Amino acid sequence: SYVLTQPPSVSVAPGKTARITCGGNNIGSKSVHWYQQKPGQAPVLVIYYDSDRPSGIPERFSGSNSGNTATLTISRVEAGDEADYYCQVWDSSGDHVVFGGGTKLTVL
Amino acid sequence: EVQLVESGGGLVQPGRSLRLSCAASGFTFDDYAMHWVRQAPGKGLEWVSGISWNSGNMGYADSVKGRFTISRDNAKNSLYLQMSSLRTEDTALYYCAKGRTNLYDAFDFWGQGTMVTVSS
């Protein structure tokens, strides 16, 4: 089955740029979605179809997808961005939804 | 305002059954795919199952295939998950999630979850 690989943790200073990667075999041929989950809360969709932002999500959040890596980029990071981030795709070969293992973003 | 409210969780013994429900409001329920996603304590998200708007297409994670059944009642704006032959590894917070459009799209709204604990 299709596997998505994320780094367990990423640390960034306030005001800097955080990049969270999601690796998968030829992931560039799939549509990638990203979720933010803060402690004790349900996940929130922050990016869909690689780079589209739902209404209400700040422009600081952006996404890209090419080759074997998709990337969630958070510009001008704020303390409130500290959360777990998950990537997700639809695996058409198995008719499954697949989540990455998640990345804990720490704002220093 | 979109609202998804899960119910039906609780403590259950291994091998027993449980039925989860998700009451939806604030959108035209029968226009969208719906999903169940679970999260074991301290772990990541795991997709469990999804169903298309008209129940014509369903999918299951390998870990639950043959034991769990997803269904929906569009007249009642409700989503269900019938869980049988429960195992300790099914212990998790179970979220109901709305598909942004079809079965293959992102999940744009989530409920707060209902906790299922499988233990003797």
- Report pLDDT digits (tens) over A11-64: 999 999 999 999 999 999 999 999 999 999 999 999 999 999 999 999 999 999
- From CA B57, how far away is CA B70, in angstroms rounded? 10
Q: Does B41 touch chain A (CB under 8 A)?
A: no
* Whole-number percent of chain B with pLDDT over 90: 98
Quick one: average pLDDT of A60-76? 98
Quick one: average pLDDT of B85-89? 98
Q: Does A61 touch chain B (CB under 8 A)?
A: no
Q: Which residues of B are less than 8 Å from A95 in CB distance?
A: 59
Collect all residues with Cβ–Cβ distance below 8 Å to A26 and sequence separation of at least 6. A67, A68
Distance in Å, alpha carbon of A41 to nearest chain B alpha carbon: 7
Q: Which residues of A are less than 8 Å from B108 in CB distance?
A: 45, 48, 54
Q: Is the pLDDT of residue A94 over 80?
A: no
- From CA A20, how far away is CA B18, in angstroms rounded? 37
